[in-house]
């Protein structure tokens, strides 16, 4: 039972699908509220005299059983074994009976967890998690060593430096992937569609994440991508919106949270406050429900004068899920894409001594409407499939359309301010067809060679990093279309029971 909990460090709310990206450069599917405590004794508040006596008797019996096994193994195992190794192994086994985010942190791992969340760290640049009990890449971070090496979401890591990952927990996997800048780590990776496991050598580096990127999709319609909730996330998102509005006012924003593993809880609240200025953002509820903690939106910075579409997918986790869930519940944004990761729990880091610790799940978090997204994730308002832009461009049907303007001698529309007739000029389509007509023979000759090399090219493309271009991204374009339709739909006259609702004319 715990008699004393001595707080030895400032509370830092840290939520993320990583252990974190800022700590290790390798994600591990974690949601963390970082509160480090020193345990000085064991205790628990008694429910009744009978239950206390019964519980104590059970504990003594179980501890006696443990002591017997420990003594027997030390005395009779075929080879000498250290007492520390047996105890560490027992603690590790105990933690594995809990959820996958609760872990024992031996000295070498605990030391790495004392790194802050500045956004600069050494590692590979991937978020990882367990899928079907196999170490799986959630997503590589763009422009990092893992991304440049060609790792992709859902790749299964079966070996690390020739050591099998079967039975290896996330903390152990992270510890094996970390190392000094410039050193190599070999990951044996299997991907759907591959015949065999491939060894991919990745050189560790110092990772500096550009958490926020922005781009104008069309005049007055912007795009902002948030890759991680680091300590500057809200300020950088605000600056990005201001840059998009340079000289003009936004009529709509696509806010991309895909592949965002999370980060700092306070930044999730701050980012939400950029779009809502009142109400609950998130609640955390531990086993003792009387200790419920509620985070509210901060007033003063909210932009509510343009529609927002938030893009999410299965790698959107933790702090990113908090923002998506909050804006969805407040009806401030439309959520589009695929259901999110579903990490709805909070972990606490407990210091067991100067060199070791424990990471324990201590609470669940809830959206403003009281939804727990644990396991379920945030469900999008609009489900959008994701398509490879290259394949989509190839699959798009090409067709020449015949219109009035193609008729010989058609009347020119002088209302457009251009009275010049184009009847004597070649259309671009005609020029394209002319330039290609002389190459048909050569193209036919090369067709067999292209087919022969297709499999080889596809194999090479498997490990080619793909830089995301929002203007070519299918989901971004669809989100933009939905936002643009907002101005159209709000002008429609809609008949409702009891009368007619007509949108306000501008």
Residue-wise DSSP of 450-478: HHHHHHHHHHHHTTS-----TTT-HHHHH
The C-alpha atoms of residue 83 and residue 352 are separated, in whole angstroms, by 18
- Residue 326, in any domain of the structure: yes
Q: Which of 272, 343, 359, 473 is catalytic?
A: 343
Asked about 318 being catalytic, the answer comes back as yes
Total of domains in the chain: 2
Range list of H helices, 264-420? 265-272, 319-329, 389-395
pLDDT in tens, 310-327: 999 988 998 999 999 999
Q: Are 201 and 162 in contact (CB under 8 A)?
A: no
Of 208, 225, 251, the residue at which a domain comes to its end is 208
- Residue 315, in any domain of the structure: yes
Based on the fold, state whether residues 303 and 159 are members of the same structural domain: no
Tokens of 427: 């259309």
Based on the fold, state whether residues 257 and 305 are members of the same structural domain: yes
Q: Is 80 exceeded by the pLDDT of residue 115?
A: no
Q: Is 80 exceeded by the pLDDT of residue 176?
A: yes
Which stretch of 12-26, 306-320, 476-490 has the lowest confidence by average pLDDT? 12-26
Based on the fold, state whether residues 244 and 378 are members of the same structural domain: yes
Q: Which of 139, 314, 318, 345 is catalytic?
A: 318
Based on the fold, state whether residues 299 and 156 are members of the same structural domain: no
User: DSSP 3-state helix, strand, coil percentages of the chain (rounded to 5)?
Assistant: 30, 25, 45
Asked about 246 being catalytic, the answer comes back as no
Q: Are 392 and 384 in contact (CB under 8 A)?
A: no
Calculate the alpha carbon distances from 324 to 37, 258, 308, 377, 484 in Å.
31, 11, 11, 10, 20
- Residue 18, in any domain of the structure: no
The C-alpha atoms of residue 17 and residue 261 are separated, in whole angstroms, by 4
Asked about 108 being catalytic, the answer comes back as no
Contacts of 264 (CB under 8 A, 6+ apart): 12, 13, 14, 15, 16, 117, 229, 230, 231, 233, 319
- Residue 180, in any domain of the structure: yes
Q: Is 80 exceeded by the pLDDT of residue 506?
A: no
CA dihedral 126, 129, 130, 131 (to 10 degrees): -80
Tokens of 388: 């490879």
Percentage of the chain lying above the pLDDT 90 cut = 42
Query: Which residue is associated with the tokens 């529609």?
Result: 307
Based on the fold, state whether residues 127 and 236 are members of the same structural domain: no
Q: What is the mean pLDDT of residues 115-127?
A: 62
Residue among 7, 58, 52 at smallest CA distance from 34: 7
pLDDT in tens, 338-353: 999 999 998 888 888 8
Question: Which has more pLDDT, 264 or 226?
Answer: 226
Predicted local distance difference test score (pLDDT) of residue 44 = 43
Q: Is 80 exceeded by the pLDDT of residue 208?
A: no
Based on the fold, state whether residues 269 and 294 are members of the same structural domain: yes
Q: Are 318 and 31 in contact (CB under 8 A)?
A: yes
Q: Are 173 and 186 in contact (CB under 8 A)?
A: no
DSSP per residue over 76-110, as a string?
A: HSSS---HHHHHHHHHHHHHTTS-TT-EEE-HHHH
Based on the fold, state whether residues 200 and 228 are members of the same structural domain: no
Based on the fold, state whether residues 217 and 328 are members of the same structural domain: yes
- Residue 478, in any domain of the structure: no
Q: Is 50 exceeded by the pLDDT of residue 144?
A: yes
Q: What is the CATH number of the domain that holds 377?
A: 3.90.226.10
Question: Which has more pLDDT, 204 or 44?
Answer: 204
Residue among 366, 235, 256 at smallest CA distance from 310: 256
Residue 181: pLDDT band (50, 70, 90) is confident
Predicted local distance difference test score (pLDDT) of residue 395 = 66
Predicted local distance difference test score (pLDDT) of residue 332 = 97
Based on the fold, state whether residues 159 and 132 are members of the same structural domain: yes
Predicted local distance difference test score (pLDDT) of residue 349 = 84
Residue among 256, 242, 247 at smallest CA distance from 219: 247
CA dihedral 144, 150, 154, 158 (to 10 degrees): -100
Question: Which has more pLDDT, 504 or 468?
Answer: 468
pLDDT in tens, 366-409: 999 999 999 999 999 999 988 776 666 666 666 566 677 778 77
- Residue 28, in any domain of the structure: no
Of 169, 191, 208, the residue at which a domain comes to its end is 208
pTM recorded for the entire structure: 0.70
Residue 493: pLDDT band (50, 70, 90) is confident
- Residue 269, in any domain of the structure: yes
Q: Is the bond preceding residue 306 a cis peptide, omega within 30 degrees?
A: no
Based on the fold, state whether residues 194 and 243 are members of the same structural domain: no
Percentage of the chain lying above the pLDDT 70 cut = 72
Based on the fold, state whether residues 202 and 154 are members of the same structural domain: yes
The C-alpha atoms of residue 369 and residue 322 are separated, in whole angstroms, by 12
The C-alpha atoms of residue 374 and residue 97 are separated, in whole angstroms, by 18
Q: Is 70 exceeded by the pLDDT of residue 330?
A: yes
φ, ψ of residue 407 to 5 degrees: the values are: -75, 135
Based on the fold, state whether residues 239 and 325 are members of the same structural domain: yes
Tokens of 154: 């859902």
The two counts, helices (H) then strands (E), for the chain are: 13, 27
Residue 456: pLDDT band (50, 70, 90) is low
Q: Residue 196's domain spans which residues?
A: 120-208
């Amino acid at each position: 039972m715990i008699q004393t909990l001595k707080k030895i460090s400032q509370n830092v709310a840290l939520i993320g699908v990583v252990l974190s990206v800022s700590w290790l450069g390798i994600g591990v599917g974690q949601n963390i509220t970082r509160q480090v405590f020193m345990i000085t004794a064991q205790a628990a508040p008694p429910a009744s005299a009978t239950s206390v006596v019964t519980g104590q008797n059970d504990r003594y019996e179980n501890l006696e059983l443990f002591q017997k096994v420990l003594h027997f193994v030390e005395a009779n195992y075929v080879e000498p074994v250290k007492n520390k190794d047996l105890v560490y192994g027992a603690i590790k086994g105990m933690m594995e009976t809990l959820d996958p985010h609760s872990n024992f942190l031996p000295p070498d791992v605990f030391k790495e967890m004392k790194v802050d969340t500045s956004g600069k760290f050494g590692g590979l640049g991937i978020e990882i998690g367990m899928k079907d009990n196999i170490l799986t890449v959630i997503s590589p971070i763009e422009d990092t060593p893992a991304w440049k090496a060609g790792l992709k979401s859902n790749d299964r890591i079966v070996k690390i430096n020739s050591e099998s990952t079967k039975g290896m927990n996330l903390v152990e996997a992270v510890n094996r992937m970390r190392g000094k800048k410039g050193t190599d780590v070999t990951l044996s990776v299997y991907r759907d569609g591959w015949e065999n496991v491939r060894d991919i050598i990745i050189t560790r580096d110092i990772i500096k994440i550009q958490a926020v990127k922005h781009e104008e999709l069309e005049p007055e319609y912007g795009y902002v991508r948030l890759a991680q909730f680091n300590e500057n996330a809200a300020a950088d998102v605000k600056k990005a919106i201001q840059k998009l509005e340079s000289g003009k006012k936004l009529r709509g924003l696509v806010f991309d949270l895909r592949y965002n593993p999370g980060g700092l809880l306070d930044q999730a609240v701050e980012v939400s406050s950029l779009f809502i200025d009142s109400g609950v953002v998130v609640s955390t509820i531990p086993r003792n429900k009387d200790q419920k903690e509620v985070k509210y939106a901060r007033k003063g910075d909210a932009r509510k004068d343009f529609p927002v579409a938030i893009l999410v997918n299965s790698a959107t986790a933790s702090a990113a899920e908090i923002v998506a869930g909050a804006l969805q519940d407040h009806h401030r944004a439309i959520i589009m894409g695929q259901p999110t990761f579903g990490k709805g729990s909070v972990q606490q880091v407990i210091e067991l001594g100067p060199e070791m610790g424990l990471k324990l799940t201590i609470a669940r978090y809830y959206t403003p409407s009281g939804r727990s997204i644990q396991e379920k994730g945030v469900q999008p308002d609009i489900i959008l499939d994701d398509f490879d832009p290259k394949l989509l461009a190839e699959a798009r049907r090409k067709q020449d359309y015949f219109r009035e303007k193609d008729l010989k001698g058609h009347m020119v529309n002088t209302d457009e301010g251009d009275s010049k007739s184009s009847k004597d000029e070649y259309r671009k389509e005609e020029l394209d067809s002319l330039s290609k007509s002389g190459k048909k023979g050569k193209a036919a000759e090369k067709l067999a060679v292209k087919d022969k090399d297709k499999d080889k090219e596809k194999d090479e493309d498997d490990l080619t990093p793909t830089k995301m271009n929002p203007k070519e991204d299918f989901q971004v374009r669809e989100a933009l279309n939905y936002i643009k339709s907002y101005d159209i739909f709000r002008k429609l006259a809609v008949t409702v029971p009891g009368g007619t609702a007509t949108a306000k004319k501008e």
